[in-house]
């Protein structure tokens, strides 16, 4: 495939930008008295909200504590070692998750009208909210550094107390606290070591395959070879295990984007792979492609 020109997203950030975001950024324990403008906090959120979350749910909720009165409510609920720096920081952010995030899915995930019903189970909803709100906290950390702010995340606080004080009678629960502002080098620990790539990561290069007889073999990787170059096939992953398959095909196959037509794409899939998904998890269309997913490998035989 030939490319006429590189778009901005094809170009990596400069070493200076990467240093600001990662290698030279530090968790601050002391803060200058320079204030953080409310407009900057709004810009911080407007960057953070674009980070991907499951079904675009965006379950994180953000409470920016800046006034002396609000700080007086929060400081006693911090662990003793976190109180002084929380008092000194110009902004304390309570990062929380809304367990009723699914109520917003008709607006946030409109191409799947039944998405709200996927989260009827409270335990699953709580897990999804916690995981994705934590992910959003990571986005916020990088966004804050990109805007010239320093960050000091903390998990030492009375979660039940913060829930009662700031989120009473709601389905919002605190996740962790972040101090925001312009940090100083006071009380800054030396840079601690990190695990090496070989200690923490691995690259798997063996591709799985489709059995000649029977169904799909449970793959060791997150990618499946497609029998047609125009088909994109991959696995769905839950808790580190492959639990299903996703297929994206050209829209000229005649399949249109409604969930009830998932079996139609399943028939096409069957004709190509010799295996039949049991049901549609979702079917999403765009002007040129249709995507279909099935939830369980056990449905292939």
CA 105, CA 256: separation in Å to the nearest integer? 22
> What is the reported pLDDT for 7?
67
What tokens appear for 27 in the block?
Answer: 């968790």
186 in Cβ contact with 218 (< 8 Å): no
- Identify the structural domains of the chain with CATH numbers, from first to last: 15-181 (3.40.109.10), 200-301 (no CATH)
Q: What are phi and psi of 152, to 5 degrees?
A: -135, 90
Weakly modelled stretches of the chain, pLDDT under 50: 1, 207-245, 251, 253-266, 268-269, 272-290, 292-301
State the burial class of residue 165 (Cβ atoms within 10 Å of its Cβ: 0-12, 13-18, 19+): middle
- What are the residues whose beta carbons fall under 8 Å from the beta carbon of 2, sequence distance 6 or more? none
CA 246, CA 235: separation in Å to the nearest integer? 6
CA 252, CA 260: separation in Å to the nearest integer? 18
Q: How many other CB atoms are there within 10 angstroms of residue 163's CB atom?
A: 17
Side-chain-side CA neighbours of residue 19 (13 Å): 4
Reported in sequence order, the residue ranges of the chain that DSSP labels E, i.e. its strands, are: 60-65, 91-98, 150-154, 172-181, 232-238, 241-250, 282-285, 289-294
266 in Cβ contact with 280 (< 8 Å): yes
Single out the residue of 263, 283, 250, 246 nearest to residue 113, CA to CA: 283
């Amino acid at each position: 495939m030939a490319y006429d020109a590189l778009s901005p997203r094809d170009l990596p950030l400069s070493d200076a930008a990467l240093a600001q975001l990662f290698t030279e950024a530090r968790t601050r324990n002391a803060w200058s008295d320079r204030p953080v403008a409310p407009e900057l906090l709004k810009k911080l959120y407007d960057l953070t909200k674009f980070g991907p979350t499951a079904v675009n749910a965006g379950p994180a909720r953000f409470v920016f504590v800046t006034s002396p009165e609000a700080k007086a409510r929060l400081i006693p609920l911090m662990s003793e070692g976190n109180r002084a720096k929380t008092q000194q920081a110009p902004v304390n952010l309570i990062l929380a998750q809304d367990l009723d995030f699914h109520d917003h899915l008709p607006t946030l995930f409109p191409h799947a009208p039944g998405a709200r019903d996927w989260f009827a189970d409270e335990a699953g909803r709580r897990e999804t909210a916690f995981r994705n709100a934590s992910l959003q906290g990571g986005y916020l950390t990088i966004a804050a550094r990109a805007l010239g702010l320093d960050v000091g995340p903390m998990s030492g606080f009375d979660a039940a107390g913060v829930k009662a004080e700031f989120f009473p009678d709601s389905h919002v629960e605190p996740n962790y606290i972040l101090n925001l502002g312009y940090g100083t080098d006071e009380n800054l620990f030396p840079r601690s070591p990190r695990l090496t790539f070989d200690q923490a990561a691995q690259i798997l290069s063996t591709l799985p395959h489709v059995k000649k007889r029977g169904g799909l073999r449970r793959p060791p990787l997150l990618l499946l070879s497609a029998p047609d170059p125009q088909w994109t096939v991959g696995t769905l992953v839950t808790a580190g295990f492959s639990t299903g398959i996703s297929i994206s095909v050209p829209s000229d196959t005649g399949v249109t984007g409604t969930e009830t037509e998932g079996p139609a794409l399943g028939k096409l899939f069957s004709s190509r792979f010799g295996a039949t998904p049991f049901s549609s998890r979702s079917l999403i269309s765009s002007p040129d492609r249709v995507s279909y997913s099935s939830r369980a490998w056990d449905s292939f035989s």
